[in-house]
Structure 1
Amino acid sequence: MIKALCEGKEHTLKYRWKYSADNIDWEELSELYKLAPLGDKEPNKLETAFSNSLFKCFVFEGSKLVAVGRALADGTDCSYICDVAVLPEYQSEGLGKAIVSKLVELSDGHKKIILYSYPGKENFYKKLGFKRMSTAMAIFENQDQAVEWGLVSEV
């Protein structure tokens, strides 16, 4: 259970948290990313990505998957938090913050915890203790699209 603020009133929301990829409906997860909206992610590729991630959080209301996140980590040096998504009707209830906070907690002991976000979300992550990096670089499968979306700039 997590406590959250909804329309200025504190209440308790009951969710089931799962930290393994066992018995995940990858089609449902793919649909969650479309609705979030965080793009088209193929179910088989999601299964590979989450299976190869040291830490993962799946959040359910009943049997419905409503939020998710993962951290690709090596167990000592670096943990990379990514793919945090919440269904639109569950956003602004504190689930995204709770997932990122849990992934940071699970990543404790790593020398660095890294994430990247879509432009405009920086303040959300700043409130959770993240600082802007000045030296990060990236190569995307679709570089032109990454530039268009403001994820990277021409160096």
Structure 2
Amino acid sequence: MSLRWSSAIDDLDWNALAALYRVAPLGDKRPEGLRTAFTHSMFRFLVYERDVLVGAGRALADGVDCSYICDVAVLPTHQGIGLGRQIVERLVEASRGHRKIILYAVPGKEGFYEKLGFARMSTAMAIFQNQAQALADGYLRPSVQGQGA
């Protein structure tokens, strides 16, 4: 399998990227939103096989303090061969020098990231656009006050 890596987004097919996230499955991400997110990300890696987008990932970073790795996705036909690991490793390497590199995992996938050197945080907090759905999906723990977050 011959893979081509790129960080260029000038000629990226945003619909293909949205389709990748849908089938990975990482949710329904609109092409316009992905264009905004990837444009504003300091680091990004796109992986192609014969001009077909098979993997992607990005990191929001400030260049000094914090790099946040997110949106790592691999086509189901290319999962299980180490491609997701390679994307994360490249994003971690690009983020070296930041005081902290963070991410949050899809519930149930935490062990994958622990094998790559990530440790669980005890104080991470989040506000989701849909708090109830994030709670139902396992991204949030019920709060002490019973507020859901």
On whether the aligned pair clears a TM of 0.5, the verdict is: yes
1:73: which partner in 2? 61
Percentage identity across aligned positions? 59
How many residue pairs were aligned? Answer: 143
Gaps of 5+ in 2: 144-149
Q: Under a length normalisation based on structure 2, what TM-score does the superposition of the two structures give?
A: 0.94
In the TM superposition, structure 1's runs of 4+ consecutive aligned residues that sit over 3 Å from their partners are none
2:84 maps to 1:96: yes
| Structure 1 residue 154 displacement after superposition | 2.2
Question: What does 1:2-151 correspond to in 2, within 5 Å?
Answer: 13-151=1-139
| Structure 1 residue 143 displacement after superposition | 0.4
1:7: which partner in 2? none
Measure the CA separation in 1 of the matches of 2:107 and 2:85: 17
Q: Under a length normalisation based on structure 1, what TM-score does the superposition of the two structures give?
A: 0.91
Measure the CA separation in 2 of the matches of 1:65 and 1:32: 8
Structure holding more strand per residue: 1
- Alpha-carbon RMSD across the aligned residues, in angstroms, is 0.6
Q: Which amino acid aligns with 1:128?
A: L
SS in 2 for 1:96: helix
Measure the CA separation in 2 of the matches of 1:74 and 1:154: 31
Gaps of 5+ in 1: 1-12
